[in-house]
Amino acid sequence: MKRVQFNRLTSHVAPLLMDDVDTDQIIPARYLKVTDKQGLGEGLFAEWRYDRQGNTDPEFALNLSQAQGAEILLVGRNFGCGSSREHAVWALLAKGIRVVIAQSFADIFRGNALKNGLLVVQIGQSVHAKLAEMVVAAPSTEVTVDLASQELLIPDLGGVQFAIDEFSKRCLIEGLDSLGYLLSAETHIRKYEASHE
């Protein structure tokens, strides 16, 4: 049960400096009529990325040239609120995003991301403000995310620690599907069921 592994990554940063970005914005419901995970990148931020005629809106943050090829997305607080749709995570991954840095994440989005190898990094307000200022002023600024040491390496700011639960970290580094852990606990689950009939 191998999944996408995550260890260390260096990339420039696409800034989408907004709070409360809901999963309806990350991928609108009309893109959810699928039975697989293919083609979801098309729907990513569809309301914002395209104009009414369906043309790319050149002013939207992720359409700017500086955002192209970025594997790190920098957002504000409460990213991924609203609907539980995991399609939001699949759409971000389909567009090449591997890390989202935010001041905070909504619970369901956080869980969905970590189960798919999309690393979510929560940082404090002051570091966030400095990083945002830096990547807006110098779009080529590269940030390194090191999962083993739980550290962001930001030019001029040095290493910034971030928290992640031990279990998710282990799954990400070893590329494990957490379902494996549940399956290995089958005896315990059967025992629980037997005692709760």
Q: Interface with another protein by CB under 8 A: which residues?
A: 1, 18-20, 22, 24-25, 28-30, 32-37, 47, 52, 76-78, 81-87, 89, 104, 106-108, 111-112, 115-116, 165-167, 170, 178-179, 181-183, 185-186, 188-189, 192-193, 196
Read off φ and ψ for residue 188, nearest 5 degrees. Answer: -65, -40
Quote the CA–CA distance of 70 and 59 in Å, as a whole number: 17
Least gap, CB of 140 to another protein (angstroms): 25
Least gap, CB of 152 to another protein (angstroms): 21
Contact between 80 and 23 under an 8 Å Cβ cutoff? The reply is: yes
Least gap, CB of 62 to another protein (angstroms): 16
Least gap, CB of 110 to another protein (angstroms): 9
Quote the CA–CA distance of 175 and 78 in Å, as a whole number: 27
Is the CB of 66 or the CB of 78 nearer to another protein?
78
Is the CB of 82 or the CB of 139 nearer to another protein?
82
Is the CB of 11 or the CB of 31 nearer to another protein?
31
User: Strand, helix or coil at 50?
Assistant: strand
Is the CB of 11 or the CB of 27 nearer to another protein?
27
3-state secondary structure 114-126: HCCCCEEEECCHH
The Cα diameter of the chain in Å comes to: 62
Label the pairing between strands 99-102 and 119-122: parallel
